[in-house]
Structure 1
Amino acid sequence: MRILVTGGAGFIGSHYVRTLLSGDDPEHVSVRVTVLDKLTYCGNPANLAPVADDPRLTFVRGDICDAGLVDALMPGHDTVLHFAAESHVDRSIGSDVPFVRTNVLGTRVLLDAVLRHRVRRFVQVSTDEVYGSIAKGSWTEQTRLDPSSPYAASKAASDLLALSYHRTHGLDVVVTRSSNNYGPYQFPEKLIPLFVTRLLEGGRVPLYGDGANVRDWLHVDDNCRAIDVVARHGRPGEVYHVGGGTELANRDLTARLLAACGAGWESVDHVTDRKGHDLRYSLDCTKIAEEFGFRPAIPFEEGLAETAAWYERNRDWWRPLLGRAAPPAVPR
């Protein structure tokens, strides 16, 4: 089997590729992987270093919006796993242009090539943020999309575009929507790596508003296992939720990160809340559990401790990236 992985040098995509090529699953022994990645500020070839010498891996630096390149790469692949995306909400508030270009137009370029070259399956990797905010209960896969940020709107548009190719053209499309991911190799502008790297250096961390915003945390390894299950066995045209089962207010997560890094609340700056900040996300993951028996395997306390320890051991990986991260939030 030949798989094209877009955004395969990013956080989740690279974890998927490393898992695919270094695991002992007999279904993966004969797999061949092509990674297509533009290597923007958060794309990092070092994320693929553990498998860089594997003869089953081919790396191509390029843009998913480059129709000529995509058309040349697509023939012979059986599946496309589409991880590539502009994904930082704060950056999308500053300028939504790269989000619309990559997340919407780039997805269209891929879908057009998949259809033209009769690729068997297209896996759209998405986010719970497409639903907006929910005060109580959890979203099902049938919930109406109601995105709040330009980032979330661009992902919602790309999801709907992918599903339209299934309904209009009969393309085999499946969509996964996950809750907040965390784990090693995550670019240090997202909450957990941002806080851990700053605290490890004796710095300060920004907590938006009163810290009441609630997110469900999912280890990247669990998300990649779920994506692999859906890629292999998901029903065409269906959406599958992937959650971690650990909902925490940001102030509670901050307390855990402070403890993990040996710091106190004096290291926290309370900063002005960002525009359109959703209060709570929550996914109902009954569908993937009932159809495939999938459940997250990594307890949050264990995963968080291992993640903090990874960043402590791998300062040479993240220190060179700090200059690329989004500017820090402004204190209130």
Structure 2
Amino acid sequence: MGSGISPLIFLLYSVLGLKCLLTTEGHQKNFEEFVPGMKHDGDWNNHLRLRPSDDGNSGNTLHDHSSLSHMDPELNVFFHHNDLKVGNKMPIYFPTKDPSATPHLLSRQESDVIPFSSSQLPYILELFSFPEGSKQAKAMKTTLEHCEFPPIKGETKFCATSLESMLDSVRQIFGLNSKVRVLTTNYLSDTISLLQNYTISEPPTEIFAKKIVACHTLPYPYAVFYCHGQVSDNKLYKVLLAGEDGGRVEAAAICHMDTSHWDPNHVSFHVLKTVPGASPVCHFFPTDNLVWILS
């Protein structure tokens, strides 16, 4: 990276705990280790589809829809707005990814010379030495299609392949001279269980923002962020959670108050047993996600 990197970009590299790695061999090794255990990064965007549920629209608490979340523990990130109460207990999945075993960040100079398009997938696979039909190739194809999928009504979206390009895109959305902040989930304990019951230990703090852009990681040989914001009513929170094993998390969470334009097959509706527009959909952010805020 060049010496002209901004203080905010430097801070974000530190927050994410990731390093730039310049060899394709290094990207290949980390991606091979990363993909088999990676299922749902970015699943709370509005383009993921599941088959409609056959069990109707009953139940309105996280524990009522445990059958689906038990099938995939990583779905224990969604909750209802009225769950945000001191003393409330809920199962939550927080990934404990080892930064040394996850795809690394590239500088803008590096990412700009690598094609990022479905039409160039054969060349990209050859570049990173992944055979067609492999798990890695399928994950890359899904990510590229995901990034190329058109936004839904009222949504602004982009995929960023470097923190510099992400910050540029966020500033274009917020305004070039806007002062932006970034919010993340932070672990307050050395070790955190993947899935356990957490109790809300203090009143959640609502963070007021004029605009919000959330960036989620997607599977790729190097770090790719799917970023999106919606022109709708969203509420952003910091929630202090105490785990049954003694672990503590200061979690970033968002509640989408208007889901009337969402795809009915969005995974959150199946987890929460609800339908578009019926009630807010809330979710926690993992530690490698970034929430950009215009105050």
TM-score (norm 2): 0.28
Structure number having the greater strand percentage: 2
Structure number having the greater helix percentage: 1
Which structure has more relative contact order (CA 8 Å, sep 6+)? It is: 2
TM-score (norm 1): 0.26
